[in-house]
Amino acid sequence: MSNTDIEIVVEDPTAPEANSPQVVSVRVVDVVVSLLLLALAITLGLDNWRAGAGWESTGPQPGYFPFYLSVILGGASLYGLVAAFLSRTEATETFVTRAQLRRVMAVFVPTVLFCVATQFLGLYVASFLLISGFMRLVGKIALWKSLLTAFVFTAVMFVTFDVAFDVIMPKGPLEAALGR
Amino acid sequence: MEALGLLMHGFAVLLTWKTLLLMMTGLVLGIFVGVLPGLGGPNGVAILLPLTFTMDPTSAIVMLSCIYWGALFGGAITSILFNIPGEAWSVATTFDGYPMAQQGRAAEALTAAFTSSFIGSLVAVMLITFLAPMISSFALKFGPPEFFAVYLLTFCSFVGLGREAKHKTVISMSLGLLLAGIGMDTVSGQLRMTFGSAELLRGVNFLVAVIGLFGISEILLTMEERLALRGHAAGISLRVVLSVWKDLPKYWVTLLRSSFIGCWLGITPGGAIAASFMGYNLAKRFSKDQDSFGKGRIEGVFAPETAAHASGTSALLPMLALGIPGSGTAAILLGGLMVWGLNPGPLLFVEHKDFVWGLIASMYLGNVVGLVLVLTTVPIFASILRVPFAAVAPMIVVSCAIGAFAIQNAMFDIWLMLGFGVVGYVFKKIGIPLAPFTLALVLGNRAEDAFRLSMIGSGGDMKVFWSNGLVGSITTLAIVLLFWPVIDKAFSGVSRMVRPAKA
């Protein structure tokens, strides 16, 4: 036989367990989202009403088109709210289990920190920290591999964007010290 | 045959070493994106878009469309070797592709998948070559009411024909249209929905939203899954390729049928997902030996792949000819066109001939180059999956941030991207479709302008949308499609009442 039988195997040791308890049901999230959308629709609707949602001699006022869209959005979310309340299937569906939420947070929290770091330290330093930290702490990959990967990736990004293509990214104290 | 001459000119524009190199880069990046878990066509194009900002429009669109082709090819690799559909439209490919790999016929299945993708795209590109110029020259006669009617038709068909709950499609669409309106009103110069924020003055950039909605949210979703996988490694030898190609003519009916379904569903917003399933099911239904489907039948790979790619490609037809994207990825490409200062729509064929025919020629070339590339490099790409997700995820986050920032050089956009990431994650989980949102966001301003111009022209009389046969029939069709589920139900209700009466 040819080499078609060789298998590629990738393990996922930190995979979320299948029997983890649910944190919240689809119905609850659906209701909350519908309420938020309704609030958004009302806010935007009022703002457009203020901007003028009627007609003037030259045609529709600026708020006309978005005002009626807010009305449509509000109506649809109101319908969604009622539908979510009445839905039997959504109440039994799991939105996210505890184990899944832990994994999602393991990506989301570092991403938020990365954005904060970008604001103060510049994008390149932040991305080095994110990649090395994430690989080491979440992925449990050897420290030298993590640092090397992070450095190579960040360097490639820097050369591609800053040097070759002149796309300017947010920079911080390190770049300033290096004179870039 | 004017089209052929222009197409040849397009090839001449493309055949430089620089463009071919860009094409290869785009294809490799695309396959990479298609193979990696948690990324796919729209995400890949969105994330890699900033790379192209400094290029001239033709090179940029060539590279982007090659990323798209690459992602389409890449999706098939994981479906067949690992039973993991990289994209929703490769789900149908796993039905027969994975059993084939289990039987040690992975190379055959991969060859079949790539070849049929190539055929599907080719048919769709030919359709674009001959139909797009005709449609666009017809659309040149359109005024604002006609354009608004066409936009309305697009939006209504999403609501009426979509498979999601209707109110959720409406929510997604009106939200997109509203966000598109944030910022300076282009007609009156007045500020709308900015609430005094200087950051909102610029408006919500379409690409920032897309990077968040598709890139960041997809990573969050991927992390929820178990990422372990086991699959077959495969090398493709020339002998296998030739033997599969030798058998191709036997399946011409399947290939033709699937191409047709794909083209049709690609132009109408049915999409590649529906096309791939329909292609598979029809191939099964018309087969003499239905039971062998699902057990590793090569036809079961040909049918969905051809349909999916025909659909993915023909989704570009309405985008080029009318400025209305037929799919999420087409919407992102459309956003790209606008960044380069090109105004998609019928005028594109008149004002930017070089660009349009360069793009169409690149579809032909990109597919040929792509086919050769994937056939020769499958083993390398299959082994990409060995790279742990913990290394890939942060790199994707960084690429997303670079992309979001580069569009307007604004830190605020990085935060906006993060916000859209969360929104995308929640929306996907509660079943609010993202495609209508994307479409509405990219078309919002143009739809509003068309509406206001037609209102100004008519003095505020809604009858302008029924003022002549053309605009009237488009508007009526839009309304029929909007209420299609109701009409459909009413019809079947009536026929049920009539039938027992006859019997």
**DSSP string over B255-274:** HHHHHHHHHHHHHTTTHHHH
The pLDDT assigned to B234 comes to: 66
The pLDDT assigned to A169 comes to: 82
CA distances from B80 to A27, B90, B494 (A): 36, 9, 46
Check if the beta carbon of residue B93 is closer than 8 Å to that of residue B45. Answer: no
In which region does residue B498 sit, left (phi positive, over 0), alpha (psi from -120 to 50) or beta (all else)? alpha
- Residues with Cβ < 8 Å from A154, sequence gap 6 or more? A124, A127, A128, A131, B398
pTM here is 0.84
How far is B191 from chain A, CA to nearest CA, in Å? 8
* CA–CA gap between residue B59 and residue B52 (Å, rounded): 8
Check if the beta carbon of residue B39 is closer than 8 Å to that of residue B389. Answer: no
Residues from chain A contacting residue B51 (CB–CB below 8 Å): 160, 165
Q: What is the phi/psi pair of residue A106, to 5°?
A: -60, -25
Closest residue in chain A to residue B397, using alpha carbons only: A111
Check if the beta carbon of residue B7 is closer than 8 Å to that of residue B34. Answer: no
Task: Select from B53, B39, B336 the least CA-distant residue to B215.
Answer: B39
Instruction: Please tell me which of the candidates B81, B104, B187 has its beta carbon nearest to residue A5.
Output: B104
Give residue B409's domain range: 2-502
Q: What is the phi/psi pair of residue B191, to 5°?
A: -85, 140
CA distances from A45 to B123, B266, B307 (A): 47, 35, 43
Instruction: Please tell me which of the candidates B385, B390, B409 has its beta carbon nearest to residue A135.
Output: B390
Residues from chain A contacting residue B187 (CB–CB below 8 Å): 62
Q: Which of A1, A2, A70, A156 to mutate to test the interface with B (most CBs of B within 10 A)?
A: A2
Q: How confident is the model at residue A2 (pLDDT cuts 50, 70, 90)?
A: very low
* CA–CA gap between residue A76 and residue B380 (Å, rounded): 48
Contact (CB<8Å) B237/A2:
yes
Torsion over CA: B445, B448, B450, B452 (sign): negative
Check if the beta carbon of residue B326 is closer than 8 Å to that of residue B318. Answer: yes
| Paired residues of A7 in beta bridges | B232
Q: How many other CB atoms are found less than 10 A from the CB of residue B2?
A: 7
Residue A122: DSSP 8-state: B
The pLDDT assigned to B144 comes to: 84
Instruction: Please tell me which of the candidates A4, A66, A134 has its beta carbon nearest to residue B393.
Output: A134
Q: What is the mean pLDDT of chain A?
A: 84
CA distances from A46 to A40, A102, B54, B174, B178 (A): 10, 39, 41, 16, 13
DSSP state string for B356-393: HHHHHHHHHHHHHHHHHHHHHHHHHHHHHTTS-HHHHH
Q: What is the phi/psi pair of residue B181, to 5°?
A: -85, -10
* CA–CA gap between residue B308 and residue B273 (Å, rounded): 7
Q: What is the pLDDT of residues A24-78, one digit of tens each?
A: 888 888 899 999 999 999 988 888 888 777 777 777 777 888 888 899 999 999 9
Contact (CB<8Å) A8/B385:
yes
Residue A140: DSSP 8-state: -
Out of A2-16, A154-168, B93-107, which region has the weakest mean confidence (pLDDT)?
A: A2-16
CB–CB contacts below 8 A, A to B? 226
ipTM: 0.89
As for how many domains chain B has, the answer is 1
Contact (CB<8Å) B430/A29:
yes
Give the H or E element holding residue B232. Answer: strand B229-232
Q: Which of B51, B169, B179, B193 to mutate to test the interface with A (most CBs of A within 10 A)?
A: B193
Q: How confident is the model at residue A1 (pLDDT cuts 50, 70, 90)?
A: very low
Q: What's the token pair of residue A115?
A: 């954005």
Contact (CB<8Å) B230/A1:
no
The alpha carbon of residue B11 and the mean position of all alpha carbons in its chain are separated, in whole angstroms, by 24
* CA–CA gap between residue B402 and residue B220 (Å, rounded): 18
CA distances from B317 to B76, B268, B330, B353 (A): 23, 10, 9, 15
Residues from chain B contacting residue A29 (CB–CB below 8 Å): 426, 429-430
Instruction: Please tell me which of the candidates B171, B219, B398 has its beta carbon nearest to residue A107.
Output: B219
Contact (CB<8Å) A112/B229:
no
Strand duo A22-25 + A59-60: pairing: unpaired
Q: Over its length of 503 residues, how does chain B's per-residue pLDDT go in tens digits? A: 567 777 787 777 777 788 888 888 888 888 888 777 666 667 777 777 777 777 777 788 888 888 888 887 887 888 888 777 766 777 888 888 888 888 888 888 888 888 888 888 889 888 888 888 888 888 888 888 888 888 888 888 878 777 778 888 899 989 999 888 888 777 777 777 777 777 777 788 888 888 888 888 888 888 887 766 677 766 777 788 888 888 888 888 888 888 888 888 877 765 677 778 888 888 888 877 777 787 878 888 888 888 888 888 888 888 888 888 777 777 888 887 777 777 777 778 778 877 888 888 888 888 888 888 888 887 777 777 777 888 888 888 888 898 888 888 888 999 999 999 999 999 988 888 888 888 888 888 888 888 888 888 877 777 888 888 888 888 888 888 888 888 888 888 887 777 665 54
The pLDDT assigned to A34 comes to: 92
The pLDDT assigned to B271 comes to: 66
The pLDDT assigned to B309 comes to: 84
If 0-12 CB within 10 Å is exposed, 13-18 middle and 19+ buried, where does residue A141 land? middle
If 0-12 CB within 10 Å is exposed, 13-18 middle and 19+ buried, where does residue B318 land? buried
Contact (CB<8Å) B167/A79:
yes
Is residue A96 classed as helix, strand or coil in its secondary structure?
A: strand
A152 compared with A140, residue with greater pLDDT:
A152
* CA–CA gap between residue B45 and residue B72 (Å, rounded): 12
If 0-12 CB within 10 Å is exposed, 13-18 middle and 19+ buried, where does residue B158 land? buried
Contact (CB<8Å) A135/B455:
no
Task: Select from A98, A7, A160, A61 the least CA-distant residue to B234.
Answer: A7
The pLDDT assigned to A4 comes to: 44
